[in-house]
Amino acid sequence: MDKESKRFNCTMTRVAGILEIRVMKQTRHTNCNKQQGIATVEFAVVLPFLILMLAATADVGYLMYHQNILNKSVASGGRFISTHATDGSGLVNITAQKIQETRNMIVYGNIAGFGDPVISGFSPSDINITCSNGTRNGYCIQDAGLTPITLQATYTYSPVLGTLFDNVTGLNLFPLPMSATTIVESI
Protein backbone atom coordinates (compact mmCIF):
# COMPACT_ATOMS: atom_id res chain seq x y z
CA MET A 1 0.00 0.00 0.00
CA ASP A 2 1.24 3.44 -0.74
CA LYS A 3 1.08 6.37 1.65
CA GLU A 4 -2.20 7.71 0.27
CA SER A 5 -4.10 4.44 0.67
CA LYS A 6 -2.81 4.00 4.25
CA ARG A 7 -4.29 7.35 5.17
CA PHE A 8 -7.74 6.22 4.14
CA ASN A 9 -7.42 2.63 5.41
CA CYS A 10 -10.71 2.70 7.27
CA THR A 11 -12.76 3.80 4.31
CA MET A 12 -11.55 1.39 1.61
CA THR A 13 -14.08 -0.84 -0.11
CA ARG A 14 -13.81 -3.31 -3.00
CA VAL A 15 -16.20 -2.98 -5.85
CA ALA A 16 -15.97 -5.61 -8.64
CA GLY A 17 -12.32 -6.28 -7.82
CA ILE A 18 -11.35 -2.63 -8.14
CA LEU A 19 -10.13 -0.78 -5.08
CA GLU A 20 -12.21 2.30 -4.49
CA ILE A 21 -11.23 4.91 -1.94
CA ARG A 22 -13.93 7.12 -0.56
CA VAL A 23 -12.55 10.52 0.06
CA MET A 24 -13.95 12.11 3.16
CA LYS A 25 -13.69 15.78 3.78
CA GLN A 26 -12.89 16.67 7.37
CA THR A 27 -14.15 13.48 8.99
CA ARG A 28 -11.84 10.97 7.34
CA HIS A 29 -10.48 9.61 10.70
CA THR A 30 -13.85 9.54 12.45
CA ASN A 31 -14.80 6.17 10.94
CA CYS A 32 -11.70 4.56 12.47
CA ASN A 33 -12.53 6.03 15.87
CA LYS A 34 -16.14 4.82 15.61
CA GLN A 35 -14.94 1.30 14.89
CA GLN A 36 -12.67 1.39 17.92
CA GLY A 37 -15.57 2.66 20.04
CA ILE A 38 -17.80 -0.18 18.87
CA ALA A 39 -15.12 -2.72 19.76
CA THR A 40 -14.90 -1.20 23.25
CA VAL A 41 -18.66 -1.47 23.69
CA GLU A 42 -18.62 -5.10 22.50
CA PHE A 43 -15.84 -5.88 24.95
CA ALA A 44 -17.76 -4.21 27.78
CA VAL A 45 -20.81 -6.35 26.95
CA VAL A 46 -18.85 -9.62 26.78
CA LEU A 47 -16.55 -8.97 29.79
CA PRO A 48 -19.05 -9.96 32.54
CA PHE A 49 -19.70 -13.29 30.79
CA LEU A 50 -15.98 -13.93 30.45
CA ILE A 51 -15.43 -13.19 34.14
CA LEU A 52 -18.36 -15.44 35.07
CA MET A 53 -16.97 -18.30 32.97
CA LEU A 54 -13.53 -17.85 34.52
CA ALA A 55 -14.99 -17.87 38.04
CA ALA A 56 -17.13 -20.95 37.25
CA THR A 57 -14.05 -22.76 35.95
CA ALA A 58 -12.17 -21.88 39.12
CA ASP A 59 -15.13 -23.09 41.21
CA VAL A 60 -15.20 -26.46 39.43
CA GLY A 61 -11.45 -26.79 40.01
CA TYR A 62 -11.94 -25.98 43.69
CA LEU A 63 -14.70 -28.61 43.88
CA MET A 64 -12.40 -31.26 42.41
CA TYR A 65 -9.65 -30.17 44.82
CA HIS A 66 -11.99 -30.69 47.79
CA GLN A 67 -13.12 -34.10 46.49
CA ASN A 68 -9.48 -35.16 46.09
CA ILE A 69 -8.64 -34.10 49.65
CA LEU A 70 -11.71 -35.96 50.93
CA ASN A 71 -10.73 -39.15 49.08
CA LYS A 72 -7.11 -38.99 50.28
CA SER A 73 -8.16 -38.34 53.88
CA VAL A 74 -10.53 -41.31 53.95
CA ALA A 75 -7.85 -43.53 52.39
CA SER A 76 -5.40 -42.35 55.05
CA GLY A 77 -7.92 -43.17 57.77
CA GLY A 78 -8.46 -46.58 56.19
CA ARG A 79 -4.73 -47.31 56.28
CA PHE A 80 -4.60 -46.20 59.91
CA ILE A 81 -7.49 -48.35 61.13
CA SER A 82 -6.45 -51.40 59.12
CA THR A 83 -3.04 -51.43 60.82
CA HIS A 84 -4.36 -50.56 64.30
CA ALA A 85 -7.54 -52.66 64.37
CA THR A 86 -6.11 -55.82 65.93
CA ASP A 87 -5.36 -56.06 69.62
CA GLY A 88 -2.54 -58.61 69.32
CA SER A 89 -4.76 -61.66 69.82
CA GLY A 90 -5.56 -61.99 66.13
CA LEU A 91 -9.02 -60.52 66.59
CA VAL A 92 -10.20 -57.21 65.21
CA ASN A 93 -11.10 -55.10 68.20
CA ILE A 94 -12.11 -51.62 67.16
CA THR A 95 -12.75 -49.68 70.33
CA ALA A 96 -14.40 -46.29 70.64
CA GLN A 97 -10.94 -44.79 71.14
CA LYS A 98 -9.65 -46.30 67.87
CA ILE A 99 -12.73 -45.04 66.05
CA GLN A 100 -12.15 -41.52 67.43
CA GLU A 101 -8.45 -41.65 66.51
CA THR A 102 -9.40 -42.74 62.98
CA ARG A 103 -11.90 -39.90 62.69
CA ASN A 104 -9.24 -37.45 63.86
CA MET A 105 -6.78 -38.91 61.32
CA ILE A 106 -9.30 -38.34 58.52
CA VAL A 107 -10.33 -34.83 59.58
CA TYR A 108 -7.12 -33.37 61.04
CA GLY A 109 -4.38 -35.61 59.66
CA ASN A 110 -3.28 -36.72 63.15
CA ILE A 111 -4.76 -39.01 65.81
CA ALA A 112 -4.71 -36.36 68.56
CA GLY A 113 -7.25 -34.20 66.74
CA PHE A 114 -5.42 -30.90 66.97
CA GLY A 115 -4.89 -28.28 64.29
CA ASP A 116 -7.11 -27.17 61.47
CA PRO A 117 -9.28 -29.62 59.53
CA VAL A 118 -7.95 -30.64 56.12
CA ILE A 119 -11.11 -29.07 54.65
CA SER A 120 -12.75 -26.04 56.23
CA GLY A 121 -16.01 -27.04 57.93
CA PHE A 122 -15.10 -30.74 58.07
CA SER A 123 -15.62 -32.39 61.48
CA PRO A 124 -15.18 -35.86 63.03
CA SER A 125 -18.97 -36.24 63.23
CA ASP A 126 -18.99 -36.35 59.39
CA ILE A 127 -17.23 -39.75 59.51
CA ASN A 128 -19.07 -43.07 59.77
CA ILE A 129 -17.05 -46.22 60.54
CA THR A 130 -18.81 -49.59 60.44
CA CYS A 131 -17.94 -53.28 60.36
CA SER A 132 -19.64 -55.41 57.74
CA ASN A 133 -20.54 -58.00 60.38
CA GLY A 134 -21.91 -55.37 62.74
CA THR A 135 -20.76 -54.37 66.17
CA ARG A 136 -21.27 -55.78 69.63
CA ASN A 137 -21.41 -53.32 72.54
CA GLY A 138 -19.83 -50.65 70.34
CA TYR A 139 -16.95 -52.91 69.33
CA CYS A 140 -16.22 -54.72 66.11
CA ILE A 141 -14.82 -58.07 67.15
CA GLN A 142 -14.07 -60.58 64.38
CA ASP A 143 -11.15 -62.59 63.03
CA ALA A 144 -8.38 -60.43 61.57
CA GLY A 145 -8.34 -60.28 57.79
CA LEU A 146 -11.96 -61.40 57.50
CA THR A 147 -13.68 -58.23 58.63
CA PRO A 148 -14.18 -55.51 56.06
CA ILE A 149 -14.30 -52.14 57.77
CA THR A 150 -16.15 -49.39 55.90
CA LEU A 151 -15.20 -45.76 56.33
CA GLN A 152 -17.48 -43.13 54.85
CA ALA A 153 -17.03 -39.38 55.03
CA THR A 154 -19.58 -36.81 53.95
CA TYR A 155 -18.94 -33.14 53.34
CA THR A 156 -21.10 -30.31 52.06
CA TYR A 157 -19.30 -28.14 49.52
CA SER A 158 -20.54 -24.58 49.07
CA PRO A 159 -19.21 -23.10 45.82
CA VAL A 160 -18.34 -19.44 45.64
CA LEU A 161 -20.78 -18.82 42.80
CA GLY A 162 -23.43 -21.19 44.20
CA THR A 163 -25.33 -18.61 46.20
CA LEU A 164 -25.26 -16.16 43.31
CA PHE A 165 -26.51 -18.84 40.91
CA ASP A 166 -29.30 -19.88 43.29
CA ASN A 167 -30.41 -16.27 43.77
CA VAL A 168 -30.43 -15.52 40.04
CA THR A 169 -32.14 -18.72 38.86
CA GLY A 170 -34.33 -19.47 41.88
CA LEU A 171 -33.08 -23.07 41.88
CA ASN A 172 -31.66 -24.53 45.07
CA LEU A 173 -28.84 -26.61 43.63
CA PHE A 174 -26.18 -25.60 46.14
CA PRO A 175 -24.52 -26.55 48.47
CA LEU A 176 -23.33 -29.82 46.95
CA PRO A 177 -23.03 -32.96 49.07
CA MET A 178 -19.79 -34.89 48.60
CA SER A 179 -18.80 -38.26 49.97
CA ALA A 180 -15.87 -40.64 49.95
CA THR A 181 -15.96 -44.29 50.97
CA THR A 182 -13.26 -46.89 51.42
CA ILE A 183 -13.41 -50.49 52.58
CA VAL A 184 -10.37 -51.98 54.30
CA GLU A 185 -9.48 -55.19 56.11
CA SER A 186 -7.31 -55.39 59.17
CA ILE A 187 -3.77 -56.67 58.86
Confidence check: pLDDT of 152 > 80: yes
Most confident of 6-15, 72-81, 139-148: 72-81
Confidence check: pLDDT of 155 > 60: yes
25, with CB counted inside 10 A (0-12, 13-18, 19+), is: exposed
The pLDDT-based confidence of 36 (bands split at 50, 70, 90) is low
Closest C-alpha to 183, from 124, 104, 129: 129
Task: Tell me how far apart the alpha carbons of residues 103 and 124 are, in angstroms, rounded to a whole number.
Answer: 5
What's the full length of the chain, in residues? 187
Confidence check: pLDDT of 15 > 70: no
The pLDDT-based confidence of 172 (bands split at 50, 70, 90) is confident
Q: Is the dihedral of CA 4, 7, 11, 17 positive or negative?
A: positive
Compute the average pLDDT of residues 91-106. Answer: 87
Domain boundary assignment for the chain? 72-185
* pTM (predicted TM-score): 0.70
